[in-house]
């Protein structure tokens, strides 16, 4: 397989996506000053689906070949499956933000980049020594970032670790189930699935008011339009002109942006120990993406 030549414009799209995703952690945190986590995810996912719907329709109308019944079945199956997994991951992350900082959440969530090749072992994929070294570094960084003197993960940190694990399953699902499908359409369906399931949880556990939703309108709109709609589209377009290893590395910059955004916008300052933990984890993330990449692995949504 020939190595894909990197287009600087496409690489810039991925950097912009990382900036949007990283700063969205602030919107997710601020939004819960007014509404609960299930409400936030239900509304933002619905907005994300509605933002992508015109793009899906436009791409479909311009397609020279109409999808077959089998293709449509595969599309909906992949979208719903990814949506189920995304619902669990995004709500674990959202609830975790009630108990941890934006910066910690961003870095811990980025562990999925390391967990994906590890999970690939169960699919018969070889994992390099470099990956195992990056896993060891990530564990060390996580210890510095999250562990207190009692050597216990905080509630929010633990929920976010679980979120990273589930996000890694999401990437594996995309890699195996969304092959040769319209990535934007798969995303639209997964956001719609997440909106419905989060909405059911919202009705059972939370009682949002229109006044509360209006008060949270700015963070919800940012997370829905920018994080779900715009950033995902930037990822789809960007990955078409960037080699997968570099693409994954560029998108992992969201963890750095999350720390900076939490510091600048929310005044969440990390201790020296936590800062060292962030640096160690970021080194692990970079190391996991360089040599020894597993053949056939997808680092993002399949286009």
* Digit-coded pLDDT (tens) for 184-195: 888 899 999 999
* Digit-coded pLDDT (tens) for 213-261: 999 999 999 999 998 888 877 876 776 676 655 666 677 777 778 878 8
Asked if residue 300 belongs to a domain, the reply is no
pLDDT of 288: 64
pLDDT of 44: 94
pLDDT of 213: 93
DSSP secondary structure code for residue 3 in this structure: P
Among 122-126, 161-165, 278-282, the minimum mean pLDDT is found in: 122-126
The backbone torsions φ and ψ at residue 64, rounded to the nearest 5 degrees and listed phi first, read: -75, -25
Instruction: Work out the angle between the directed axes of helices 69-96 and 102-109 (0-180°, nearest 10).
Output: 140
CA gap 224, 220 in Å, rounded: 6
pLDDT of 301: 41
Q: Of residues 71 and 209, which shows the higher confidence score?
A: 209
Q: How far is CA 278 from the centre of its chain?
A: 18
- Render the burial of 118-127: b for 16+ CB within 10 Å, e for the rest: bbbeeeeeee
Q: Of residues 182 and 212, which shows the higher confidence score?
A: 212
Identify which of 168, 169, 158 has the alpha carbon closest to the alpha carbon of residue 110.
168
Instruction: Work out the angle between the directed axes of helices 231-238 and 8-31 (0-180°, nearest 10).
Output: 160
Asked if residue 296 belongs to a domain, the reply is no
55-63: average pLDDT: 83
* Digit-coded pLDDT (tens) for 81-101: 999 999 999 999 999 989 988
Q: How many CB atoms lie within 10 A of CB 236?
A: 22
CB 198 within 8 A of CB 46: no
pLDDT bracket for residue 124 (50, 70, 90) = confident
Asked if residue 301 belongs to a domain, the reply is no
pLDDT at 295 over 50: no
Asked if residue 203 belongs to a domain, the reply is yes
Report the percent of the chain where pLDDT is more than 70: 84
Among 97-111, 144-158, 237-251, 275-289, the minimum mean pLDDT is found in: 237-251
List Cβ neighbours of 2 (8 Å cut-off, separation of 6 or more): none
Instruction: Return mean pLDDT, the chain.
Output: 80
Asked if residue 52 belongs to a domain, the reply is yes
Tokens of 103: 């910066």
- Render the burial of 158-168: b for 16+ CB within 10 Å, e for the rest: bbbbbbbbbbb
pLDDT of 6: 64
How many domains is the chain partitioned into structurally?
1
Asked if residue 116 belongs to a domain, the reply is yes
List Cβ neighbours of 227 (8 Å cut-off, separation of 6 or more): 20, 21, 24, 27, 44, 48
pLDDT of 269: 75
Instruction: Work out the angle between the directed axes of helices 231-238 and 183-205 (0-180°, nearest 10).
Output: 150
pLDDT of 248: 65
Look up the domain containing 204 and give its range: 8-289
Q: Of residues 226 and 124, which shows the higher confidence score?
A: 226
Work out the angle at residue 198's Cα, subtended by the Cα atoms of residues 123 and 218, and round it to the nearest 5 degrees: 115
Asked if residue 297 belongs to a domain, the reply is no
Asked if residue 1 belongs to a domain, the reply is no
CB 284 within 8 A of CB 141: yes
Distances (CA, A) of 81 to 151, 168, 190, 228: 36, 14, 8, 17
CA dihedral 166, 169, 175, 177 (to 10 degrees): -100
CA gap 278, 219 in Å, rounded: 25
pTM: 0.78
pLDDT bracket for residue 297 (50, 70, 90) = very low
148-160: average pLDDT: 74
CB 113 within 8 A of CB 100: no
pLDDT at 293 over 50: no
């Amino acid at each position: 397989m020939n190595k894909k030549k990197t287009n600087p414009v496409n690489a810039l799209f991925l950097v912009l996506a990382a900036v949007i995703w990283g700063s969205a952690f602030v919107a997710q945190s601020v939004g819960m000053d007014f509404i609960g986590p299930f409400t936030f995810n239900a509304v933002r996912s619905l907005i994300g689906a509605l933002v992508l719907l015109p793009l899906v329709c436009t791409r479909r109308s311009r397609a020279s070949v109409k999808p077959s019944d089998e293709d449509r079945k595969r599309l909906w199956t992949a979208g719903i499956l990814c949506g189920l997994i995304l619902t669990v991951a995004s709500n674990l992350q959202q609830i975790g933000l009630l108990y941890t900082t934006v910066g910690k959440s961003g870095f811990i969530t980025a562990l999925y980049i390391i967990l994906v090749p590890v999970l690939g072992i169960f699919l018969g994929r070889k994992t390099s020594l470099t990956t195992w070294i990056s896993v060891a570094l990530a564990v060390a960084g996580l210890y510095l970032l999250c562990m207190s003197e009692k050597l216990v993960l905080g509630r929010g940190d633990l929920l976010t670790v679980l979120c990273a694990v589930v996000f890694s399953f999401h990437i594996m699902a995309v890699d195996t189930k969304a092959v040769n499908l319209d990535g934007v359409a798969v995303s639209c369906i997964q956001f719609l699935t997440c909106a419905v399931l989060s909405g059911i949880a919202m009705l059972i556990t939370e009682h949002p008011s229109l006044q509360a939703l209006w008060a949270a309108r700015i963070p919800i709109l940012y997370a829905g339009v920018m994080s779900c709609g715009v950033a995902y589209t930037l990822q789809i377009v960007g990955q078409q002109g960037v080699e997968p290893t570099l693409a994954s590395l560029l998108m992992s910059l969201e963890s750095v942006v999350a720390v900076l955004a939490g510091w600048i916008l929310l005044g969440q300052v990390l201790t020296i120990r936590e800062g060292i933990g962030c640096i160690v984890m970021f080194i692990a993330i970079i190391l996991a993406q360089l040599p020894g990449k597993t053949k056939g692995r997808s680092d993002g949504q399949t286009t």
